[in-house]
Amino acid sequence: MDPHRLRAALAVAVVVVLTAAIPASATPTAVTFHLVGTHPPDADYHQGTFTAPSPLCPSGTWQGNGQGSRVFTCADGSGTFTANFSGEVEHTAGASGPWPITAGTGTYGALRGTGRATIDSSTGPNGNPIAFTDTWRGLVDFDNIAPTIKVRRATATRLGKGRSYVLRLSFACPDNVAGNNVSYTVLIGTAASDLAKRAGKTTAIASLSLRVRPPRSARFVSVDITATDPVGNLRTTARRVPLRRRRS
C-alpha cells in the first residue's frame, strides 16, 4: 500500500477507536426479571435460574447465600453480575426486600442497579428443599461512577446567648450523567449524639438552613453528606464546622 494511504487509514482507525472508548450518556432502564430457586433448610446455600430483559442477558443461573451476595451467570457467556439480597425473605410468599447490583464482569463490568424484589411463591421454612420464585423490579444502567460532592458553604452561628445554632449549608452533587436526579442525606452531629438529619434530591445545588442545639462543651459539629445516583452509586464527604458566636 502507498505510504500516504497507509498513514491515512491508520489515522481513521485511531479516530474510530478513540470514539468507541468515549462512554455514551445513558439514563437508567426499568427492568423486571424473574428468579426460580431452592435451598436446603439446614444450609446457607441458595441457587437457581433467572430470566431477564435487555440490557441484561436473557437467562442464566445464580447462586449465593441467605444474607449476602448472589452471583448471576449469563447462559450466553456474556458475563456475570452480583447483587446483594437477604434471601431470608424468600421463606415467605408476599414478602419483599431491596436489592442493589454492586459489581459485574465481562459485558456487565460497569452494570449497577437498585430495586426491590417480591416473593411470588415459597414453600416456606419447612420445605425440603425450600423452593421459591421471585420478581425483581428496579433500575439498571452501565454506570459505576458515583456523583461528586462539592461543599460551597458550611457555617454554624450561635443564636443569641443560648445554646442553639443555625447551620447554613450549601453543596453541589452533580452526577456524571447530566440531568440525573441525585438523592442526598445530610447528618449533623457531635461525638456524643446526632443533632439533625435531612434528605432530598437535586440536579444542581442544595441549600439548607438547620437549627441545632449541640452540647455546651462542643466546639464544632460534624456534617456528613451522602449523595446517591439513581442506580445506587454513592459518595460521602465529611466536614467539621466550628461553632461560632454571632457578632453583636
Q: What domains lie within the chain, and their CATH numbers?
A: 27-142 (no CATH), 150-244 (2.60.40.10)
* Range in 8-17, 32-41, 109-118 with the lowest mean pLDDT: 8-17
Q: Which of 225, 214, 206, 195 is nearest to 157 (CA)?
A: 214
* DSSP type of residue 44: -
The residues pairing with 50 across neighbouring beta strands, listed in sequence order, are 35, 60
Give the confidence band of 151 by pLDDT, cuts at 50, 70, 90.
very high
CA 216/CA 214 separation, integer angstroms: 6
Q: Residues 133-159: what's their mean pLDDT?
A: 96
Sequence-ordered list of residues with C-beta below 8 angstroms from that of 120, at least 6 positions apart, any chain: 93, 132, 133, 134, 135
pLDDT at 164 exceeding the cut of 50: yes
Residue pair 198/208 in contact (Cβ under 8 Å)? The answer is: yes
pLDDT at 136 exceeding the cut of 70: yes
Q: Residues 26-33: what's their mean pLDDT?
A: 89
Residue pair 65/45 in contact (Cβ under 8 Å)? The answer is: yes
pLDDT of residue 247: 55
